[in-house]
Amino acid sequence: MNNPAYATPVQRLARQVGSQTVPALLLLYAALYSVTHGLGAVVRGLDVGRLMGVAVLALLAGWWLARLAVRPSWLATLCAVGLGLAITLVVVGQLGDELATVGQAALAMAFWPWQAAGWPDMAPLLNPLNTLLIGIETLFVRLLVWLVSVAEGKTAYDPVAVALVWNAAVWAVAVWAGWAVRGGRRPLQAVVPALALLSTVAFYTGGGINMLTLLLAATLLLLSFIAFNEREQYWQAQRIDYFDEARRDSALIVIPLVIALVLAAAAAPSISWKDLVELANKYTRKAGVNRDPVLPQSLGLQTLPTRADVFDIVRSPGLPRGHLIGSGPELSHDVVMLISTGDLPPNPQPAALKENPPPRYYWRSTTYDRYTGRGWLASGALTPVDYRAGDNVQPIEAVAYRAVEQQVTAVEDLGTLLYATGTLLTADHDYRGAWRSPEDLFGATLEAPAYRAVSWLPVFTESSLRQAGSDYPDWVKTRYLALPEEVPLRVHQLAYDLTVTAPMPYDRARAIESYLRLFRYTLDLPAPPPDRDIADYFLFSLKRGYCDYYATSMVVLARAAGLPARLVVGYASGAYDAASARYIVTEADAHSWPEIYFPGYGWVQFEPTAGQPAIERPGEAALPVIPDSTAALDAAAAWRAGRWRVAGRWLTGAAGVLALGALAAFAIDRWRLVRLAPAAAIDHAYHRLQGHAQRLAGASQPGDTPYEFAAHLRHRLAELSQIVGFDVSTHAGEDVRQLVELYVRAFYSPASPGLAERAQAVTLWRRLRQRLWLAWALTRVWQFTGLANADPQTGLPRSAKT
């Protein structure tokens, strides 16, 4: 039966792969599983599935590099680093579709019948290629900015940079493990980096202990497996007889022994991982080592909290969106709850829906009254009060109001907080309210995944709010006009300047709201400095941000202007599904907003966040929403179904690896520009433009002014666009004009350029650099293909001069 002709498919596969390969890979997989899932438990926002995919690819890459005996070792290292860099960029940057699109278009160009059909349309290749290059450069820039911040001792959490770092670390650990086991049969050395990585994370966070136990078990089994294989090979080489069932008997002894040792280590009362960590903390503190350094926080590591009452959690200091799903501004589009209000019937006619659109609601959970300068908290002792189903929680304050009945169904685990629009009246389950005072509800909780709540909303017009006056109750004036003494004077002065000509409280609130909506909305922010007031930092330094910054700044400015205001946390309206007559609320709708008190109407919400539509009230038009200037290019969508998709991925992947060096250089150049003084940065960008223009359009005359140089370059770009059938002049020409204008103002006017002008110059040069390189490449292609007689000076066909 030892004849190979009678071997089963499994036996033939084992001979091809090797009897030692599959068990070794499975044990290494278990070790990497423990590392990736241990990191996923303690690193905020880390995608464990993608991280595990990277680990498996790295393990196989290291295994095959060792099997192919790539020599010298530096060449194998270079291959592993290059492959890891490409895969990490594709996985973290989610650039797979762009790579596939560019590959399909490139292959289609390669098989294009040039002589019969002439020059093809370049848009399906150039548009997605431009998108891909911008995406890769953005990844490098974000990583460089994060590295610089960490090097300077600043905490800067960037989810993209964090994902790049952790994926790269796992790739290095996994590729080394595969290489060491397959190439040198060094199981202990193979797993040491993984043990070091997970142990360091467990030391800082106090989590990942279970995964560390699994890693230890996989390591012990791998050691015994490799040791037995080496002994077996020695016996065979020395022609020593041994028992045929020795492998099976060894496994029956080793596996239970390893399980018993690991379980004993995990369960022994005399050995506590927590005590070991605390002991390590004690000695590291004596040695002057800080357990809360900048690097772990910047890497997204977070110590695991202990369980606490929900009101104790959400009333704690800080920016309130940290209490929402996602633990920060980086929220996903996963659905968290479905809400129906009965305002419209299901499946309304389009005309009826247009004439009577669904109301816009804010789903309130908790409110904050005390501003600390670093964030918000609920002041004083909260008094919990239990209510039976159907009990009214508080009387109605408004002179005119409407009741809203909402059916809330939780899709994700929202905890026990009760969400409702406006001011809560009652619910159909037993619930608990937490009160600051008899008139002031902090929030409510309810133990049910689905519930019906009734709340009231004040009914008003702009005119009625203007006539509301300022006769505020004592509890409102005491609690909602207070500001810390440490709020900088310039914040108070700004509130004064914004509202000095506004006669009524409502006009003051609208003036502040309109001013804040001019700030740019973004989630890509550094951590606020620990010694700065949040509102002051947002208003005078950052000048961009997300809802917490907008809402905090409006509440502070409103209080400085004499308007009682508070900060509210919950969710924005969400998307309305007409078919089911429900609001679909996602994690991305998590929101905070300001509310201002008006006598006779109660709390009225405002929307200063530029990323949200402005609130339309009766008698007022909607404020303009600043659109996002970065629209995605979709000219290559039709190419996604092409038959060259698979081959295109490989081709584009190889081209992407070769282009990484150039992209890194672009990113470093941009980083250098933002570090220069404003005038020097503008001058640098202008002279770079002149250098590119000389290669593209010929040298300008010595006596040309900047405006003449700009006109000459724009004319050449327009000529090129007419010939190749691809527009490179419309946007590039406008960018040239703006950069030249900045240069002239910087060096020919008495006013010195500032940080805003520097940022504008950097952005313009980034766009121009890509478009000018593209224009230069097109001229070279025209010369190479010989489709036209090229002008030796400009590289353009002579017919372009007509």
Question: What's the confidence (pLDDT) of residue 13?
Answer: 47
Q: What angle do CA 37, 41, 47 make, to 5 degrees?
A: 65
**Region of poorest pLDDT, from 379-383, 650-654, 662-666:** 650-654
Q: Give the pLDDT confidence of 320-331 residue by residue, as tens digits.
A: 444 332 334 455
Mean pLDDT, the chain, as a whole number?
75
Dist CA 391 CA 650 (whole Å): 65
18 vs 556, more confident:
556
Region 708-724: mean pLDDT is 75
Q: What crossing angle do the helices spanning 73-93 and 123-151 adopt, rounded to 10°?
A: 100
Each residue's pLDDT tens digit, 158-185: 556 777 888 889 999 888 888 888 876 6
Segment (H or E) for 337: strand 335-340
Reported as a pLDDT band with limits 50, 70 and 90, residue 267 is low
pLDDT surpassing 80 at residue 677? yes
Contacts of 334 (CB under 8 A, 6+ apart): 412, 586, 587
- Tokens representing 218 are 């996989």
- pLDDT (mean) for 476-493: 87
pLDDT digits over 750-764, tens only?
A: 888 888 888 888 888
Nearest to 668 by CA among 145, 135, 150: 145
Do 642 and 100 meet the contact criterion of CB atoms below 8 Å apart? no
State mean pLDDT over 182-205.
79
Averaged pLDDT, 286-301: 56
Residue with the two structure tokens 């060449």: 75
DSSP per residue, 650-672: HHHHHHHHHHHHHHHHHHHHHHH
CB atoms under 10 Å from CB of 187, counted, come to 25
- CA dist 752 and 60 (Å) reads 57
Is the confidence at residue 82, as pLDDT, over 60? yes
CA distance 229 to 18: 12
Q: Among 93-102, 531-540, 592-601, name the one with the lowest average pLDDT.
A: 93-102
Element at 584 (helix H, strand E): strand 582-586
Peptide bond into 72 cis (omega under 30): yes
Whether residue 650 has pLDDT greater than 50 = no
Stretch 8-26: mean pLDDT: 61
pLDDT bin (cut points 50, 70, 90) of residue 783 is: low
Per cent of the chain over pLDDT 70 is 69
Q: How far is CA 174 from CA 25, 63, 229, 462, 790, in A?
A: 11, 10, 22, 63, 53
pLDDT of 579: 86
H helix runs in 488-546, sequence order = 489-499, 505-516, 534-537
Given a cut of 50, whether residue 640 has pLDDT beyond it is no
How far is residue 140's CA from residue 89's CA, in Å, rounded to a whole number?
9
Residues forming a β-bridge with 571: 363, 590
Tell which wins on pLDDT, 143 or 323.
143
> 514-533 burial, b if ≥16 CB within 10 A, otherwise e?
ebbbebebeeebeebeeebb
Amino acid at 638: A
What CA–CA distance (Å, rounded) separates 761 from 681? 7
User: Picking from 76-80, 109-113, 298-302, 462-466, which range would have the lowest pLDDT averaged per residue?
Assistant: 298-302
**pLDDT tier at 249 (50, 70, 90 boundaries)?**
low
Provide CB contacts within 8 A for 615, sequence distance 6+.
Answer: 360, 605, 606, 607
Task: Specify the higher pLDDT residue, 351 or 312.
Answer: 351
Higher pLDDT, 320 or 392: 392
Q: Quick one: DSSP state of residue 637?
A: G
DSSP for 234-279, written as a single string: HHHHTT----TTHHHHHHHHHHHHHHHHHHHHHH-TT--HHHHHHH
**Nearest C-alpha neighbor of 697 from the set 683, 684, 714:** 714
* pLDDT interval class at 427 (50, 70, 90): very high
On whether the CB atoms of residues 425 and 403 are closer than 8 A, the answer is yes
Q: How confident is the model at residue 549 (pLDDT cuts 50, 70, 90)?
A: very high
CA 337 vs CA 19, 377, 419, 447, 590: distances in Å: 52, 26, 10, 15, 11
Residue of 544 and 71 predicted with greater confidence = 544
Instruction: State residue 572's pLDDT score.
Output: 92
Q: Is the pLDDT of residue 618 over 70?
A: yes
Backbone dihedral region for residue 390 (phi beyond 0: left; psi -120 to 50: alpha; all else: beta): left
Residue with tokens 């002049």: 729
The string of pLDDT tens digits covering residues 428-437 is 999 999 999 8
- CA dihedral (349, 350, 356, 360) in degrees, to 10, reads 110
**Alpha-carbon distance 106 to 112, whole Å?**
10
Mean pLDDT of 380-394: 87
The per-residue pLDDT for 120 is 74
- Confidence class for position 582, pLDDT limits 50, 70, 90: very high
- Cβ contacts of 712 within 8 Å, gap of 6 or more: 693, 697, 700, 704
pLDDT of the residue at 444: 93
Share of the chain above pLDDT 90, in %: 16
Determine phi and psi for 715, rounding to 5 degrees. Answer: -65, -40
